[in-house]
Amino acid sequence: MVFHAPAKVNLSLRILGKRADGFHDIETIMAPLSLSDTLDIELQEGSGVDFTCSDASLPCDGTNLVCRAVDAFARHTGRQFRTRVHLTKYIPHGAGLGGGSSDAATVLKALDLTLGTRLSICELESIAASLGSDIPFFIRSSPSLCRGRGEIVEPLGILPKANILLVKPPFPVPTAWAYQAYKNKTKTSETFSQWHGSIELMNDLEEPVFSKYLVLSVLKRWLLDQSGVRCAMMSGSGSTIFAILNEDVLDLEDRVLAYFGSSFLVRRCQLLGTPHTDHC
């Protein structure tokens, strides 16, 4: 069977403080996108995982979140099975778009469906939380307020849909480095309000990340200066900058590539604002 794993953007990201376990307490609003990876999943008799990926730069061993998700599901349910998974990557990695986390959550949901284990949303979110902070969000893939280290998911109501342009430069931003840089930041950049519906767009990680990766600050300001762009912000810890567009923008992709060069990855998609109906 083929399953789709959607990307996400952080419409807001506030860092509330450091936790005793080394993580940060955060409060973030995340929303899924129409951009997605695809996973071809086949179950067989036996045990273990046969994993392949269209992106040769990603590990295909037990360290990959897809393989870890299969192992975690097998341990939780006590079921024995062999899984063949081929992942076709469309979501860039190291981009702040949650591609790896979404792939892992999609595997959990796919196994629950194909094996008929009928786990609750809360059970699936608990397995997901054991694998990574933002993986529980992708169990419902619904606009949500996420708290704690990101694993406490509270679905929101309907958000305004929007056309989105994603622009990723030819480098990732390590998440752990971004949070450490936030700890040492000094306030230097200007701040101004941007809104999507009733949500104020803001990201506490922008300032420390921009202080090292200067092109991201340039990219955000350039996007805001373009006709047809309503607002622009970095997603998560970067490196993607996303722009929320007016309906009639036709050539912005060409403008980005002409100004910044063909090494920048540009994708147009939609923000999906409809809540998921399942509850714990």
Residues annotated as catalytic (active site), given as ranges: 8, 134
CA torsion sign for 190, 192, 196, 202 is positive
Q: Using an 8 Å Cβ cutoff, are 2 and 88 in contact?
A: no
Query: In sequence order, what are the residues at sequence separation of 6 or more whose Cβ sits closer than 8 angstroms to the Cβ of residue 167?
Result: 219, 223, 240, 241, 242, 243, 256, 260, 264, 265, 266
Neighbours of 254 (CB within 10 A): 10
Q: How many distinct helices (H) and strands (E) make up the chain?
A: 8, 13
Please give the Cα distance from 279 to 263 (Å, whole number).
42
Distance CA(230)–CA(224), nearest Å, equals 7
**Can you tell me whether residue 77 is helix, strand or coil?**
helix
- Containing H/E element for 103? helix 99-115
What are the structure tokens assigned to 105, written together? Answer: 């959550």
SS3 label, residue 238: coil
244: Cβ contacts below 8 Å, ≥ 6 apart: 162, 163, 164, 196, 229, 230, 231, 232, 271
